Amino acid sequence: MSDVLTVLPELILAVGAMGLLMIGVFSGDKSYGLLKWLASGLFAVAFLVMIGSGAEQKLAFGGMFVTDAFALFMKSVVLTGAVFALGLSGQFMRERGIARFEYPVLVVLAVLGMMMMVSANDMLALYIGLELQSLALYVLAAFNRDKLRSTEAGLKYFVLGALSSGMMLYGISLIYGFTGSTSFAEIAAYGIGSGTNGLGLLFGLVFLISGFAFKVSAVPFHMWAPDVYEGAPTPITVFFGTAPKVAAMALFVRALIVSFPDLTQQWQQVVVFLSVASMILGAFAGLMQTNIKRLMAYSSIAHMGFALAGLATGTVDGVQGVLVYMAIYMLMTAGTFAVILGMRRKDGLTEDISDLAGLAKTRPALAAIMATLMFSLAGIPLLAGFFAKLYVFMAVVEAGMYWLAVVGFVTSTVAAVYYLRIVKLMYFDEPNENIEPLKDRGIAYVGFVTAALNSPLHLLLIWPLTLAAGLAAQSLF
Partner 1 sequence: MSQFHIIVFGPLLGFLIAGLFGRRLGDRGAMGVTTGLVTLSAVLSAFALKDVAFDHNQYRILVLEWVRSGTLSFDWVLNIDTLTAVMLVVVNTVSALVHWYSIGYMSHDPHRSRFFAYLSLFTFAMLMLVTSDNLVQMFFGWEGVGLASYLLIGFWFKKPSANAAAIKAFVVNRVGDFGFSLGIFALFMLTGSVVFADIFASLDGVADARFIFLGYEVHALTTIAVLLFIGAMGKSAQLFLHTWLPDAMEGPTPVSALIHAATMVTAGVFLMARMSPILELAPGAMTLIMVIGGATAFFAASVGLVQNDIKRVIAYSTCSQLGYMFVAIGASAYGAAIFHLFTHAFFKALLFLGAGSVIHAMSDEQDMRKMGGLSKMIPLTYVMMMVGTLALTGFPYTAGFFSKDMIIEAAFATHNSMGSFGFLMTVVAAFMTSFYSWRLVFMTFHGTPRADEKVMSHVHESPAVMWVPLAILAVGAIAAGFVFSDYFIGHDRFDFWAGALVTSHGDVMDEAHHIPGWIKWLPTGMMALGFLLSVLFYVVKPGIPKSMAATFPGAYKFLLNKWYFDELYDRIFVRPAFWLGRVLWIRGDQKTIDGFGPDGIAATVLAAAKRIRVLQSGYVYHYAFAMLIGIAIVISYFVLTGGGF
The nearer residue to partner 1, 211 or 447, going by C-beta atoms, is 211
The nearer residue to partner 1, 55 or 130, going by C-beta atoms, is 130
In three-state form (DSSP H/G/I as H, E/B as E, the rest C), the secondary structure along 249-312 is HHHHHHHHHHHCHHHHHHHHHHHHHHHHHHHHHHHHHHCCCCEHHHHHHHHHHHHHHHHHHHHH
Is 194 a binding residue for partner 1 by CB under 8 A? The answer is yes
Where are the strands (E) in 334-429, listed by range?
344-345, 348-349
Here's the x/- map for partner 1, 404-443, by CB under 8 A: it reads as ----------x-----------------------------
Among 195, 346, 347, 460, binds partner 1 (CB under 8 A): 195
On the 0-12 / 13-18 / 19+ scale of CB atoms within 10 A, 53 is middle
Least distance from C-beta 88 to partner 1, angstroms? 26
Here's the x/- map for partner 1, 295-324, by CB under 8 A: it reads as ------------------------------
- Tell me the number of residues near partner 1 by CB under 8 A: 37
Here's the x/- map for partner 1, 212-231, by CB under 8 A: it reads as --x----xxx-xx-xx----
Which residues, at least 6 apart from 101, have a Cβ–Cβ distance to it below 8 Å?
20, 23, 24, 25, 27, 28, 29, 31, 32, 35
Least distance from C-beta 241 to partner 1, angstroms? 18
Give SS3 for 352: strand
Give SS3 for 421: helix
First to last CA, the chain: 28
β-pairing, 58-60 with 344-345? unpaired
Least distance from C-beta 221 to partner 1, angstroms? 5
Is 202 a binding residue for partner 1 by CB under 8 A? The answer is yes
Q: Which of 80, 110, 84 is nearest to 10 (CA)?
A: 110
Q: Which of 32, 111, 119, 33 is nearest to 71 (CA)?
A: 119
Instruction: Report the alpha-carbon distance of residue 429 to residue 421 in Å, rounded.
Output: 11
| Geometric angle at alpha carbon 289, from 361 and 308, rounded to 5° | 110
The nearer residue to partner 1, 20 or 213, going by C-beta atoms, is 213
On the 0-12 / 13-18 / 19+ scale of CB atoms within 10 A, 393 is buried
The nearer residue to partner 1, 219 or 465, going by C-beta atoms, is 219
- Helix or strand holding residue 102 (H, E): helix 102-119
Q: Which of 382, 346, 362, 337 is nearest to 426 (CA)?
A: 362
Least distance from C-beta 199 to partner 1, angstroms? 5
Least distance from C-beta 224 to partner 1, angstroms? 6
Is 131 a binding residue for partner 1 by CB under 8 A? The answer is no
Find the binding residues for partner 1 in span 156-185 (CB under 8 A). Answer: 156, 159-160, 163-164, 167
Instruction: Report the alpha-carbon distance of residue 177 to residue 204 in Å, rounded.
Output: 9
The nearer residue to partner 1, 198 or 261, going by C-beta atoms, is 198
Selected range binding partner 1 among 97-105, 176-184, 192-200, 317-325, rule: CB under 8 A: 192-200
Is 394 a binding residue for partner 1 by CB under 8 A? The answer is no
Least distance from C-beta 222 to partner 1, angstroms? 9
Is 291 a binding residue for partner 1 by CB under 8 A? The answer is no
Phi/psi region, residue 435 (left: phi>0; alpha: psi -120 to 50; beta: rest), is beta
The nearer residue to partner 1, 166 or 364, going by C-beta atoms, is 166
Give SS3 for 150: helix
Least distance from C-beta 207 to partner 1, angstroms? 7
The nearer residue to partner 1, 128 or 160, going by C-beta atoms, is 160
The nearer residue to partner 1, 11 or 192, going by C-beta atoms, is 192
Least distance from C-beta 261 to partner 1, angstroms? 15
Positions that interact with partner 1 (CB under 8 A): 155-156, 159-160, 163-164, 167, 192, 194-195, 198-199, 202-203, 206-207, 210, 214, 219-221, 223-224, 226-227, 265-266, 269-270, 273, 281, 284-288, 414
